[in-house]
Structure 1
Amino acid sequence: MKRILGMLLIILTLLIVMASSSFAAKLYTTTIHETTVEEVQDMILEVMTGKNFTVDEVDKYKIIVAKNFGDGFWVTSQLCKVKFNMLERDGNIKLMVSETELVQGQLARQRSIDHLIPLIKEIRNKIDGTPMDQIASEAVNQLPGSGNERQKALGIILGDKNGEGYILIPKVEPGSLAADEGLLPKDIIIEVNGRSTKEMESSALKSYLANKFAANASIMLFYNRNDTTEMVILKQQM
């Protein structure tokens, strides 16, 4: 009887968790620019062990860390394992993160990684400097209608000024709003919302763009590519 009650408790716990996370993301993918697998591995270990995860497995292109949730008495014990897969591509590393859990050592299942997103963003931010509020998942299960939609990142990575005083774009995030609108690395930002970029520093423009994007305001941007000036309006589609 006691064993049956224990099994019923496990099943009930799983049903509650599954119901609450049925529309949560199960995979998070992000591209970390101009780095190596070793550098990404080191940062994953630093960030995750700093949050009391233990290292379960380390491979060339994979790291698994684990953490227990619940005391096994008042709260059902859950062993959660987070898997980081890494893929090298054109000098960048595509990082794919997923999580599974075992309740009292049984019934492994995929778990929502929403609670890990701040840590994933921290890992990337510490490596390539991308602002955390501009990092969004590139996972294919974020398609409209999947129930896992996430706001696209703006995706403009700002660099230094050129010889004329305009601000360069050294990188554009794959799958971002900027990429969707056709912006490319090496484009030169001439003007933003009527103001010349000669009048502002790169750090100030970064803050301005982040604030406008977060407020879902339109960003009218003039840029130069191959001596031709083009215009694009960036605005998140809600």
Structure 2
Amino acid sequence: MYNKSFNRSQPAEGKTPLKEKWSNFFSSSGSIPPVPLPAQWLQQDSSQQKERTSATFMAFVDAIIPSTLGALDLRLDEYVIWSLDHYVSLEVDWGVERLPLSIPVSQLLDVAALQLLAEGRANSPLDLTTYPLGGPFSSLAPTDRIWAIDLLEQDKVDLEHMPAPFRNNSGLVKNIVSALHQMVLFGYYSDWFSYGATRLANPEDRRVERKEIVWNQTKYPGPSYAYRAFRGYLVKSFQEGGESQ
């Protein structure tokens, strides 16, 4: 649970058209974008939000654990999205509430990517073909995605442009970025993909349907159930003033 206050009176995301929002970002940052904004970014609308979110997290997990048999091969983008929408709770005005965060977190990554572009720090050309329905973050080269994530970790992104509930809340931004790394690694090394068709079910309804891939790769023997350990020597009897047998 992330114990950060969230005021529902903050403006809702998605009210401003993407073309206007991204153009405003560059104008307010005082920077001229190093490349024209791609037309496919400007033509996206709210009906494509699910596809854009999916593309963003596919790009994220692939940057953290690249192929082959990396995070993307094991569909850990689905794991991260599911976890963000089911496991994260925030403190709101009237208590603690579980909120779906996959969409605002994907927008958070897009803002970081735009910041990187506005500062002219992207080292590679944008790739608009790998994730055609994605946004700024998924269009970055993998190494540039890492630099965009670093901007968030170092608190070097304009917090005013963040989506709710991250706007002007640097602590929550850092917490969620740290959690993203943990989610990818946990999903990978727990062999979440081996749950097969049940991997997106509630935990109590998941069943192992595939052979463990990562465990076999790393030669992990599996959980240890009370393996024996040395706890001393077996004593048959005690003798006062003498040696034990």
Q: Same fold (TM over 0.5)?
A: no
Higher helix content, 1 or 2: 2
Higher strand content, 1 or 2: 1
Q: Which of the five TM-score ranges fits, normalised by the shorter chain?
A: under 0.3
Higher relative contact order (CA 8 A, sep 6+): 2
Larger Rg: 2
| TM-score (normalizing by structure 2) | 0.24
